Structure 1
Amino acid sequence: MCAVFQLDGRVELSTRVGGSLCVTKKLGHIALVEKAGMEENGRRWKTIAGRWWAAAVAAGLLGLILVAMVKGKRKRWRMAEMERRAYENEALQVSMVGHVRAATAPVVRTAPELEKEFMPPR
């Protein structure tokens, strides 16, 4: 069949005059068109199977990305929870030095013990 793609966007189909000869009286692009035969039907299942396979691979990759994102979120959430608990239960006092939190120990010093048995050499 002959397909005439007209300038206004319409498509007209007509029969061929000869083996590969098309005749038209309108301006536009002309193409030879054939109906799909038995050969294309044989390849159709391969095309469908290929598309299903590609869709399955894409879904698997998206699933892996989603799992990685969820794991990262959970790890950040756990770290924030641990920091919060550590801040609530800290044994050292916290003081602010500028914009930085710094741990400070209480001002307690152990008293030194003199060793009576030790005598330095003369």
Structure 2
Amino acid sequence: MDSFIDFIDMYSWAMLLSIFVILGASAFLGKHLWVRHKKRDTVLSEELGIILGATLSLFGLLMGFILSIAIDGYNNRISAEEYEAIAIGNAFQRTTLLANASQQTQAQKLLHDYLDLRIQFFDTAD
């Protein structure tokens, strides 16, 4: 569980907390306004129910689109990492085609350095 908490950056936790506080405050404010409004008119409350239903439907669509975009971005990133790994593997195989042994050694050393840098990039938290 600790590694999962460490995996999520501070900005995500701050966003989660702020959304939770804003939604809680909105629900509290809505309850108090509804109690004051409920005493007034039933026709107005029916119209408010229609508006509330439409707003919640649009909110559901928005959340669905956001989730779809996030999943698509994640899949694209995973595909890009896979393609990069395949390209690095192909580069290692093609170093054997070099005629000079010193060039093969130099090319393999450069590829190892590049691979170490890429691994270091993915190991960083931010």
User: Shorter-chain TM-score category?
Assistant: 0.3 to 0.5
TM-score, reference length from structure 2: 0.45
Larger relative strand fraction = 1
Report the structure number with the largest CA radius of gyration.
Answer: 1
TM-score, reference length from structure 1: 0.46
Higher relative contact order (CA 8 A, sep 6+): 2
